């Protein structure tokens, strides 16, 4: 009916539907989508969004779509767009995802202004990151939508790879570094920029960190794949030796990877100090890979005996 019907009649149907249900966000959004797809009159579209926001001010997607519709106006007004964005942040949005949708819509508009306004865009990203941290200090966006977007803009618009790396270094200093997604996203950006050496350094840093939800095993597999695709025979061999224990784990074992890694590293240090001065990490990893439970028990008892004696 919408595709073939008379626009005036379709609008009337939407108005009749909204009369008894003025706070139903889905009707407002469908109404606006119809106008954008068929009528294509910016004034009418923005008028519907304005009414929708008065009736459903808590819906982040409505604010985000209103910001995008305003950007499509014939004569884009930056001050008007900034004012609408400010109103959205003060409207009482409910969740972090609501704020995220609004923030991304604003950042899209700033990016569309081009490289001549890169400073405004950087300021927008900085304010967005601070806003999310202030309003939702315990919220972790595992997709890293703001920071990944920020880093890409620094590379392609700002032509500043160092600034992009600084964005991700900031992420790795936050609680988001507990999850493997932050490390993988950073490395993906570096690989895309053909910065192989820095990618390898980040892999090494991530390998030594405690990652939750089996992230350590995932990172090890990604590192091995990276060395196969970008490394040399020497770097691949080095990584295979280092990751030998991890790559022998099952998915069930991966639920406790950080405990195992910490124990192995500590065990290696203790064995070198008290029992086997020439022991290398590869010696220990091979021992653990072949007979892991027995090796742990024997090593612990033997080291304790040597330490006491």
In a domain, residue 155? The reply is no
pLDDT of 290 reads 46
Lookup result for tokens 């008065």:
54
In a domain, residue 256? The reply is no
In a domain, residue 1? The reply is yes
Query: How big is the CA angle at 163 (ends 106 and 236), to the nearest 5 degrees?
Result: 120
In a domain, residue 252? The reply is no
pLDDT of 243 reads 82
Instruction: Give the domain-ending residue among 110, 133, 155.
Output: 110
Per-residue pLDDT of the chain (309 residues; tens, 9 = 90+): 455 668 889 999 999 999 999 999 999 999 999 999 998 889 999 999 999 999 999 999 999 999 999 998 767 889 999 999 999 999 989 999 999 999 999 999 999 999 999 999 999 999 999 999 999 999 999 999 999 999 999 999 999 999 999 999 999 999 999 999 999 999 999 999 999 999 999 999 999 888 998 888 899 999 999 999 999 999 999 888 888 766 665 444 544 444 444 445 545 554 555 555 555 545 545 545 444 455 444 554 444 444 444
Structure tokens at 201: 């350094």
In a domain, residue 149? The reply is no
In a domain, residue 289? The reply is yes
Q: How many domains does the chain have?
A: 2
The pTM (predicted TM-score) of the whole model is: 0.76
In Å, how far are 88, 147, 152, 203, 309 from 126, measured between CA atoms?
A: 18, 9, 14, 26, 58
| Dihedral angle of Cα 226, 230, 236, 239, to the nearest 10 degrees | -40
Q: Report the distance separating Cα 66 and Cα 45, nearest Å.
A: 9
Domain with 14, as residue range(s), is 1-110
In Å, how far are 127, 136, 140, 201, 243 from 132, measured between CA atoms?
A: 9, 6, 9, 29, 36
pLDDT of 23 reads 94
Instruction: Give the domain-ending residue among 110, 136, 167.
Output: 110
Q: Report the distance separating Cα 279 and Cα 286, nearest Å.
A: 11
In a domain, residue 195? The reply is no
CATH number at residue 29: 1.25.40.10
In a domain, residue 210? The reply is no
pLDDT of 73 reads 79
pLDDT of 295 reads 47
Q: Report the distance separating Cα 84 and Cα 244, nearest Å.
A: 55
Whether residue 155 contacts residue 161, with contact meaning beta carbons closer than 8 Å, is answered with yes
Instruction: Give the domain-ending residue among 110, 139, 155.
Output: 110
């Amino acid at each position: 009916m919408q595709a073939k019907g008379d626009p005036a009649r379709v609008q009337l149907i939407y108005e009749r539907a909204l009369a008894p249900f003025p706070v139903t966000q889905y009707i407002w959004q469908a109404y606006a989508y119809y106008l954008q797809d068929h009528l294509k009159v910016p004034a009418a579209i923005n008028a519907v969004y304005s009414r929708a926001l008065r009736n459903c001010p808590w819906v982040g997607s409505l604010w985000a779509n209103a910001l995008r519709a305003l950007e499509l106006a014939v004569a884009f007004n930056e001050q008007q767009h900034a004012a609408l964005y400010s109103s959205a942040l003060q409207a009482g949005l409910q969740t972090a995802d609501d704020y995220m949708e609004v923030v991304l819509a604003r950042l899209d508009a700033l990016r569309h202004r081009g490289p001549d306004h890169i400073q405004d865009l950087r300021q927008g990203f900085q304010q967005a990151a601070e806003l999310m941290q202030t309003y939702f200090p315990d919220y972790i966006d595992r997709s890293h939508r703001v920071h990944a977007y920020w880093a890409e803009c620094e590379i392609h618009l700002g032509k500043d790879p160092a600034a992009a790396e600084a964005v991700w270094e900031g992420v790795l200093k936050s609680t988001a570094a507990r999850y493997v997604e932050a490390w993988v996203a950073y490395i993906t950006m570096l690989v895309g920029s053909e910065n192989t050496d820095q990618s390898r350094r980040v892999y090494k840093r991530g390998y030594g960190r405690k990652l939750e939800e089996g992230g350590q095993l995932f990172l090890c597999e990604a590192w091995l794949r990276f060395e196969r695709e970008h490394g040399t025979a020497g770097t691949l061999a080095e990584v295979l030796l280092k990751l030998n224990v991890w790559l022998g784990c099952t998915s069930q074992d991966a639920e406790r990877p950080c405990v195992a890694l910490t124990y192995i590293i500590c065990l290696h240090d203790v064995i070198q100090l008290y029992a086997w001065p020439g022991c290398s990490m590869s010696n220990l990893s091979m021992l653990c890979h072949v007979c892991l439970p027995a090796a742990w028990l024997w090593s612990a008892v033997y080291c304790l005996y040597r330490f006491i004696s």
